[in-house]
A and B are shown apart, each in its own frame.
Chain A
Amino acid sequence: MALSNIWIVTEPSNGSLTTTSLELLTQGRSFGASISAITWGADPAIAGVAGEYGATTLYDVGDLGGALPGVPVASAIAALVASVGAPDAILIPTSYDGRDIAGRLSARLDRPVLTNVTCLADDGGLVTEHPVFGGSQTVKARFTGEGPGIFVIRAKSFAAEASGGAAATVVAAPPGDVGATGTATIAATHVEERVGPKLEEAAVVVSGGRGLGEADKYALIEETAKLLNGAAGASRAIVDAGWVPYSHQVGQTGKTVKPTVYIACGISGATQHMVGMKGSKNIVAINKDPDAPIFQIADFGIVGDVHKVLPALIAALKARS
């Protein structure tokens, strides 16, 4: 059965769409289906971006009035399914709001959802791939019941490429009455300043883990990252410990990165961390435990103390600049 109609949830971000949204549009296009994007926020610039990546229609839920997107966006999609009919598939980015939308939509439509998708192929219906057990095995799955299938797809699963299409036709898609479910509202937004490139986009990522010993030593990671024009990342262990904000976390529950080089410092290589960085082009590991699992996937490993190796590396990099 050929795919004729795919809807893609696209998240607005500073007058454009998030990179993962663009990746999903690109992949949706490759199935030869008609692509409709769904967004919110009533920003007129989005129609151009969505069209450039292959969407012909842009359903805009409109200004959410401070509500968290999950409920109103899912409600609007459910209303669209009722009014214009269900698409073959609904693709949603793995993100804070994307997961909320997927959960709400799944319950509203009474359709299951496949999450943590890293590959999507058309094989007489969409077949997904999901990494399990720290990425050592891949599970392939598909929906067996009545559609639409809801797919929640991880960042960096596909490359984003513009198709050069004309601006998408904007269609208003109001959420309707959401009752008590829609009462979670944002009272204030706090931005934690980050310097340098974004973690997901940096060519070099330097990450620290428990092996740093204490929170203050994370400064070594930040300085090394800065000298390499890279971004500083972290393992879940030190995020949980409160040493660094969650936005630095790389792994299953954090960000997926695929830099040119990933430098893991004092990170043993818990499976949940590996899922987020295994796709890096090169992996360098510094760890004092020669048997740390991280060395099994590292292209270049130094068995040593990060407290000695990193200051020396910082000095060497400074000497070159």
Chain B
Amino acid sequence: MNIVVCVKQIPDPAAPQSLDASHNLNRSGKLILDEADTYGVEMALQLVDKAGTGEVTVVSMGSAADVAGLRNALAMGAAKAVIVSDDALRGIDALGTAKVLAAVIKRESFDLVLAATESSDGYTGTTPVQLAELLGLPSITFAKSVSIDGGSVKVERQTESGYDEVTAPLPALVTVTAGVVEPRYASFKGIMAAKSKPLEVLSVADLSLADQTGPAGARQEITDVVASESRAAGEKYVDEGDGAERIVGFLESIKVL
């Protein structure tokens, strides 16, 4: 069971975020492994463990100036990492990203591709399915549980009203939600081992994709960025045992009660 996990290194969501002059997310600071991706890495490690054979490969696209996030995935237990990093990719959109990832994944031997349902910075949420289409794979999105049954993947997929049991023959692509598994923390041994694991940095030229990348390939543009209509803070009281009473009074004032 060989599993490819798509991961993204993002600016720390806890730090202040901003857009640069070209309206791209400012990624100049420290980059971390998107927490949303840690679930896919963990899921992959557990599935490979259960199969008793195979390995986990993480693939990514973006700046390789800081690869701490990828090292983190390796420290968790992934066998190797591949990142496509190229200035020509700046401003690329979701479909362009999917094309780049597809080109990388085609070089790998895999049974399953895992991804998060969406990244925590761009949250476009379409890249995995675009990738599945480009790779000619069936896809099951929004998995809250994943298991392998012979040559098929079985998924509990979230729905508006509950969940569906969905199956697809391998190879397939599955997107996992947070909560599909509890991601492990990298052990000291894992962190030491990660330092010597293969981490390959590829350029666009390595993948023969030059004409489809960057903002020209995106075929969409940001025309403006404006401050949203803000809500002003209203009344605030410290509860002196009268908090509930005050809420009732407010609900009466807006005629909810």
Q: Do A and B share a complex? A: yes
Q: Does B185 contact A (CB under 8 A)?
A: no
- Of A74, A112, A187, A190, the most chain B CB neighbours within 10 A belong to A112
- Interface stretch, picked from B76-84, B104-112, B139-147, is B139-147
Chain B CB within 8 A of A305 CB:
yes
Partner among B136, B177, B239 whose Cβ is within 8 Å of the Cβ of A302: B239
Interface size on B, residues (CB 8 A): 81
Residue of B nearest to A272 (CB): B120
Q: How far does the Cβ of A159 sit from chain B's closest Cβ, in whole Å?
A: 18
Name the one of A104, A263, A281, A305 contacting B133, with C-beta atoms under 8 angstroms: A104
Q: Which residue of A lies closest to B235 (CB)?
A: A300
A72 → chain B, closest Cβ, in Å?
12
User: How many residues on A have C-beta within 8 angstroms of the other chain's C-beta atoms?
Assistant: 98
B236-A181 in contact (CB<8A): no
- Interface on chain A toward B: helix, strand, loop, or mixed SS? mixed
Q: Which residue of B lies closest to A259 (CB)?
A: B256
Across the interface, do B236 and A179 meet the contact criterion of CB distance under 8 Å? no
User: Which of A37-45, A54-62, A139-147 interfaces with chain B?
Assistant: A139-147
B142/A96 in contact, CB under 8 A:
yes
Chain A 193-224 near chain B by CB (<8 Å), digits 1 or 0: 01000000001100000000000000000000
Report whether B239 and A96 are in contact in the complex, using a CB–CB cutoff of 8 Å.
Answer: no
* Docked-complex contact B244 and A253, CB < 8 angstroms: no
Residues in A whose Cβ lies below 8 Å from that of B247: 263, 284, 286, 300, 302, 309, 313
- Chain B residue numbers with a CB within 8 Å of A189 are 159, 162, 164-165
Q: Is the CB of A308 within 8 A of B168?
A: no
Residues of chain B lying within 8 A (CB to CB) of residue A312? 241, 243-245
Which chain A residues (135-171) contact chain B, with CB distance < 8 Å? Answer: 135-146, 152
Known: A70-B141, A245-B162. 18 other contacts (CB 8 A): A95-B160, A99-B126, A104-B129, A107-B129, A112-B94, A112-B218, A113-B126, A137-B228, A181-B132, A184-B167, A228-B251, A283-B231, A297-B233, A298-B233, A300-B250, A301-B234, A308-B239, A313-B244
Q: A residues engaging B (CB < 8 A)?
A: 68, 70-71, 74, 95-96, 99-100, 102-104, 106-108, 110-116, 127, 131-133, 135-146, 152, 179-192, 194, 203-204, 228, 236, 239-242, 245-247, 252-253, 260-261, 263, 271-272, 278, 281-284, 286, 290, 295-305, 308-310, 312-313, 315-317, 320
